[in-house]
């Protein structure tokens, strides 16, 4: 596996500081070959020791091995978005990967878990949908769809409200649908733990890196997001 895939597989087991360094690496995969361990630590705002621990967790001996790994990715492509005009083969590969991701998600979901999530959405007094950063658009879309089939659906937080105010009167009769795709804000863990402590059922939907928060959820829905690697070869003329 390349370093991006290794991070995706182990993200939920990383410490918060290691996750911070991992987030920086994922955002700068194309430049990884030129960064030293010290530079990665400085740019991600963590200690050099944290970066070294992260590399070892990912199966690398040191920063030099990571740079060599990154240089090898440059010749075969790295997992970043975008394709060259007319690159139909690359688009087909993305389609195959997305279909496989959906299959894995449905296999893991199963009828019982889907029924449990559906029951919560139908029978609860109210439904609060929340998502931050990349997850906000998903939360907004789900709120719109659910509002067409039942009353008492809202997006949190509302303008001028805090999350604490949104959940002050929520209890076991309500439900929170929380999207937790990377990257998540620093207070995500406190939010889900606090809501769970109030007895509010939670449907958590996220990529594998959100698995560490599944203990707080009534229903955990894992969505694989494996990506294709973009080819960097020059098309034949």
Q: Structurally, what CATH architecture does the domain formed by 3-76 represent?
A: Orthogonal Bundle (1.10)
Rounded to 5 degrees, what are φ and ψ at 116? -65, -45
Collapsing DSSP to helix, strand or coil, 206 comes out as: strand
User: So what's the pLDDT on residue 85?
Assistant: 47
From 84-93, 182-191, 202-211, the region with the lowest mean pLDDT: 84-93
Q: Name residues whose C-beta falls within 8 Å of residue 173's C-beta, 6 or more positions apart in sequence.
A: 124, 125, 126
Where do the domains of the chain lie?
3-76, 110-222
CATH superfamily of 110-222: Glucose-6-phosphate isomerase like protein; domain 1 (3.40.50.10490)
- Average model confidence (pLDDT) across the chain: 83
Mean pLDDT of all residues in 196-201: 94
* pTM for the full predicted model: 0.66
CA distance 78 to 18: 21
Structure tokens at 168: 């002050």
Q: For 97-107, what is each residue's pLDDT tens digit?
A: 788 878 888 77
Question: For residue range 107-166, what is the model confidence (pLDDT) as tens digits?
Answer: 777 788 889 999 999 999 999 999 998 899 999 999 999 999 999 999 998 888 788 888
Average pLDDT over every residue of 47-61:
92
* Mean pLDDT value of segment 70-77: 68
Structure tokens at 43: 């740019």
Please state, in angstroms and rounded to a whole number, the distance separating the CA atoms of residues 108 and 24. Answer: 29
């Amino acid at each position: 596996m390349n370093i991006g895939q290794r991070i995706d597989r182990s993200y939920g087991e990383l410490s918060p500081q290691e996750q911070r360094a991992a987030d920086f690496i994922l955002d700068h995969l194309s430049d990884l070959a030129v960064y030293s361990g010290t530079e990665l630590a400085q740019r991600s705002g963590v200690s050099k020791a944290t970066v070294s621990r992260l590399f070892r967790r990912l199966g690398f001996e040191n920063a030099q091995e990571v740079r060599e790994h990154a240089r090898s990715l440059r010749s075969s492509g790295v997992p970043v978005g975008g394709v060259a005009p007319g690159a139909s083969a690359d688009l087909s590969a993305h389609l195959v990967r997305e279909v496989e991701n959906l299959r894995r998600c449905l296999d893991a979901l199963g009828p019982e878990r889907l029924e449990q999530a559906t029951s919560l959405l139908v029978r609860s007094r109210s439904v609060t949908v929340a998502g931050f950063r990349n997850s906000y658009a998903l939360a907004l879309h789900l709120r719109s769809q659910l509002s067409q089939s039942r009353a008492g659906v809202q997006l949190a937080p509302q303008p001028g409200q805090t999350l604490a105010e949104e959940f002050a009167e929520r209890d076991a009769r309500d439900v929170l649908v929380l999207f937790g795709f990377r990257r998540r804000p620093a207070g995500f863990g406190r939010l889900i733990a606090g809501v769970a402590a109030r007895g509010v059922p939670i449907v958590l939907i996220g990529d594998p890196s959100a698995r560490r928060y599944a203990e707080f959820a009534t229903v955990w829905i894992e969505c694989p997001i494996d990506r294709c690697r973009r080819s960097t070869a020059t098309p034949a003329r």
